[in-house]
Amino acid sequence: MNTDYAKIGKLIKRRREKLDLTQAVLAERCEITEQYVSNIERAVSIPSTEVIMKLAAALDTTPDAFLVGSSKSPGEEWKAVADKLRPLDGRKLDLVSSFIDWLTEHPV
Q: pLDDT digit of tens for each residue in the chain (108 aa)?
A: 678 899 999 999 999 999 999 999 999 999 999 999 999 999 999 999 999 999 999 999 999 888 886 655 556 567 677 778 888 888 999 998 999 889 888 877
**Rounded-to-integer distance, Cα 54 and Cα 31, Å:** 9
**pTM across the whole model:** 0.65
DSSP string, 65-88: HHHTT-EE-TTHHHHHHHHHHTT-
CA 85 to chain centre: 23
Q: Is 2 helix (H, G, I), strand (E, B) or coil?
A: strand
Which pLDDT score is estimated for 77?
Answer: 66
Which pLDDT score is estimated for 43?
Answer: 95
Which pLDDT score is estimated for 54?
Answer: 97
Paired strand residues for 2: 72
